[in-house]
Amino acid sequence: MDLPVIDLRSDTVTRPSKPMKQAMASAPLGDDVLGDDPTVQALEERIAGLLGKEAGLFTPSGTMANQLAIRAVCEAGDEIIAHRDSHIIHYETGAPAALSGCMIAPLDGTGGLFGPEELVAVVRGTDDHNPVDRMVVVENTHNRGGGTPWSLEGFESVAGAAHRHGLHVHVDGARLFNAVAASDYQVSEFTRQADTVSVCFSKGLGAPVGSALVGSRELITRARRFRKMFGGTMRQSGMLAAAALHALDHNLEGLEADHRNARTLAGILEGLDGVVLERPPTEVPSNMVFFGLAEGVDADAFCHHLEREGVLMLSMGPRRIRAVTHLDVDQSDIEAAGAACARTLETLHAARGG
């Protein structure tokens, strides 16, 4: 008999609930290319207001939202400053170079974070030999950094330094609402110092598709044209916008439960021989658990054997694993996943003669 699958590869694997599907089916529709889909308009107004900006733009993906911000702000030959583990570097297929002709100056920093000193150190002068520094990208929470949220003070210090040097501040907020759930600030407090922000509805919020870019009315008008150019304009996309609106109404509070489940999973993994947590269970910051495997245990092999136990996780390197909690898994799933990890490690240790 097939085992039920507990999918911890990402929070992108969530599926629409029955109430969300009902909201999608009953959404008033128009043609967004012609500018008259009322549900899309309602979502764009809602998300812009929530994030404290003048206007919003519904997009098929977070990658497109990020790239629209870059294309709307930068010129070919410009430079973007971002942490070296940023999503725009690792997971957007070289799009800053391909679509906007931009370079990236990578920064170091623990957990995907950096300070104003690191930022200012790479800002170039106005010599004609240099590319023009145009934008800084801050990712909150930071995926490859372990799901780390920025503090309000840390972000404001970086944004302030960026603005003093004439840089546009873009927040890649694919999991911004996770950051808010893990921190002591409201979302509009954090975004106050940002010029543009992207947010994703299809991760922790559980919608099937969609992200948004918010910013000034002038910038969003420009980004809307590039959305058409990039092939991202949709027709009766109000069905998808309705899912995002439902998520904003009903799924924000569940993010705290996802974070608790992540800490529970980390607590189980901490007791397993051959697992090295990147952070103690009490310090897991949001809905991501990163852990290493002992010497000689391959991450791909671990994930392959774990799948046979009905649990899916993601290899992030030769011996690095990521597990992401979300609204489609509960505490019993987490306990079952932990037990499956223990059995998988026993199998791998036995195969090595350990």
Between the CA of residue 16 and those of 30, 248, 262, 313, 332, what are the distances in Å? 22, 13, 21, 21, 21
The pLDDT value recorded for residue 1 is 42
Same domain, 51 and 121: yes
- pLDDT exceeds cutoff 50 at 168: yes
Same domain, 231 and 319: no
Please name the residues in contact with 117: beta carbons below 8 A apart, sequence gap of 6 or more: none
pTM: 0.95
Q: Which residue has the higher pLDDT, 161 or 3?
A: 161
- pLDDT exceeds cutoff 70 at 330: yes
Residue 287, domain member (yes or no): yes
Six token digits for residue 290: 């990163």
Residue 158, domain member (yes or no): yes
Same domain, 81 and 49: yes
What is the tens place of the pLDDT at every residue in 67-77? Answer: 999 999 999 99
Same domain, 60 and 152: yes
- pLDDT exceeds cutoff 70 at 2: no
Q: Which of 192-196, 255-259, 278-282, 348-352 has the lowest mean pLDDT?
A: 348-352
Same domain, 149 and 272: no
Same domain, 41 and 172: yes
Number of domains in the chain: 2
Angle, CA of 228, 27 and 196, to the nearest 5°: 40
- pLDDT exceeds cutoff 80 at 351: no
Which residue among 250, 270, 300 closes a domain? 250
Q: What is the CATH number of the domain that holds 294?
A: 3.90.1150.10
Q: Which residue range forms the structural domain that includes residue 345?
A: 254-351
Same domain, 246 and 308: no
Same domain, 61 and 125: yes
Residue 289, domain member (yes or no): yes
- pLDDT exceeds cutoff 60 at 270: yes
- pLDDT exceeds cutoff 70 at 299: yes
Residue 2, domain member (yes or no): no
Same domain, 280 and 245: no
Which residue among 218, 233, 250 closes a domain? 250
What is the tens place of the pLDDT at every residue in 194-203? Answer: 999 999 999 9
The pLDDT value recorded for residue 216 is 98
Residue 9, domain member (yes or no): no
Which residue among 250, 270, 297 closes a domain? 250
Distance CA 99, CA 232 (A): 14
Same domain, 125 and 202: yes
- pLDDT exceeds cutoff 90 at 247: yes
Q: What is the CATH number of the domain that holds 149?
A: 3.40.640.10
> Chain-wide mean pLDDT for the chain?
96
Same domain, 274 and 219: no
Half-sphere exposure of 5 (CA within 13 A, CB side): 8
Reported as a pLDDT band with limits 50, 70 and 90, residue 354 is low
Distance CA 173, CA 87 (A): 11
Residue 326, domain member (yes or no): yes
Same domain, 301 and 188: no
The pLDDT value recorded for residue 297 is 85
Residue 310, domain member (yes or no): yes
Residue 153, domain member (yes or no): yes
